[in-house]
Amino acid sequence: MQTLTSGRVISRQAGAVLASAVLLAVTATAALAKPHVAIVATGGTIAGAQTSPQGPGYTAGAFNIETLIAGVPQLKDIADISGEQLVKIGSQDMNDAVWLKLAKRVNELLAGKDVDAVVITHGTDTMEETSYFLDLVVNSDKPVVLVGSMRPATAISADGPGNLYDAVTVAADPDAKGRGVLVVLNDQVFAARDVYKTNTTQVDTFKALDRGPIGRVEEGSAELFEVPTGKHTTASGFSVAGTDTLPKVDIVYAYANMGRELIDAAVKAGAKGIVVAGVGNGNMTAEALQALTDARKQGVVVVRSTRLPSGAVTRNAEVNDDELGFVAAEELKPGKARVLLKLALMKTSDPMQIQQMFRDY
């Protein structure tokens, strides 16, 4: 009996050892498993080439995605990387057709079980607009990160490789999940809703003057310390699935002695919405105000934003929005206000419903 009992004890001990070994093996395998980050390239300065490293000027989007990935071999230490070339353009040529194509592809990739995050290489000129558009129409809580550079790939001290490494680092971080679309440049992480390009040439051009960055990248690791505000991604009510075109929305810039000609031209050209880059708190001349009032009577939705780099446009401050049927852009500056208005017009032309969208998003 004692021998049998001893045998059972030994058998149980052996089973426990075996179970521990299996658990350690599974844990080790999980630790070695890396996330799959899909990189979608659109061109931009990050893929740009100069005729001479010492000379001015360059061609945006000259290099393909394979070359960019090969230029940062350390990416393989962070994630399993795949790359695809969507378009090869400077972001000044970004348009509705490319936005729709990009949104469709990103949603397709994120719907797959084999893709954990998406990084998008993009020119900096309109990155703030593309990132916000995707923030509103991507239907996934998986990380989406836009990245670019201020110096072409052939420049001395090019910033693109480091930015790409940081972007993949953020995308591969589990803490980036559920934070909406992010923008990563110059070691900083920004929410798509809040970020703007503020300098023509400097590498620290991207800022979020009203809200600040939501994280940073230091020594190869991401630290995310803020949660973005506003509805986005899975909480967004917008979708461009099956959409071929977006409503036409124009921006008019306010200035001293502003007339009505540009506003009238936008209406004549078929604009469904007009965003005013107003002076101060979204203001404009009396003549321009009358033109916008006339446009509203023709069914055009008018949104008052500001040409200033920071601050919110408040409703009924100097312009009676309630009486005129206008919308106050809140914190959104003209480029982002145009993005939201284009999507809002797919749902309604009621200014009060659209005003609520500007508060929610």
pLDDT value, residue 29 = 41
Contact partners, residue 326, CB within 8 Å, separation at least 6: 292, 296, 302, 303, 304, 319, 351
pLDDT value, residue 27 = 39
Question: CATH assignment of 249-360?
Answer: 3.40.50.40
Positions of the chain with pLDDT lower than 70, given as ranges: 1-32, 52-56
CATH assignment of 33-235, among 3.40.50.1170, 3.40.50.1820, 3.90.1300.10, 3.40.47.10: 3.40.50.1170
pLDDT value, residue 170 = 98
pLDDT value, residue 71 = 95
pLDDT value, residue 61 = 82
pLDDT value, residue 11 = 47
DSSP 299-361: T-EEEEEESSSS-PBPTTSSS-HHHHT-EE-BT--HHHHHHHHHHHTTT---HHHHHHHHHH-
Q: Is 201 a catalytic residue?
A: no
pLDDT value, residue 23 = 43
**CATH topology of 33-235 equal to that of 249-360?**
yes
Contact between 73 and 104 under an 8 Å Cβ cutoff? The reply is no
Please tell me which residue in 42, 45, 121, 124 is annotated as part of the active site.
45
pLDDT value, residue 162 = 97
pLDDT value, residue 6 = 47
pLDDT value, residue 294 = 98
pLDDT value, residue 175 = 97
Task: Tell me the C-alpha distance between 43 and 4, whole Å.
Answer: 73
pLDDT value, residue 54 = 64
Domain regions of the chain by residue span:
33-235, 249-360
Give tens-digit pLDDT for 198-254.
999 999 999 999 999 999 999 899 999 999 999 999 999 999 999 999 999 999 999
Which DSSP state fits 124?
A: S
Q: How much is the pTM? A: 0.90
pLDDT value, residue 31 = 47
pLDDT value, residue 56 = 66
Here the tokens at position 350 are 């009621």
Task: Tell me the C-alpha distance between 358 and 181, whole Å.
Answer: 18
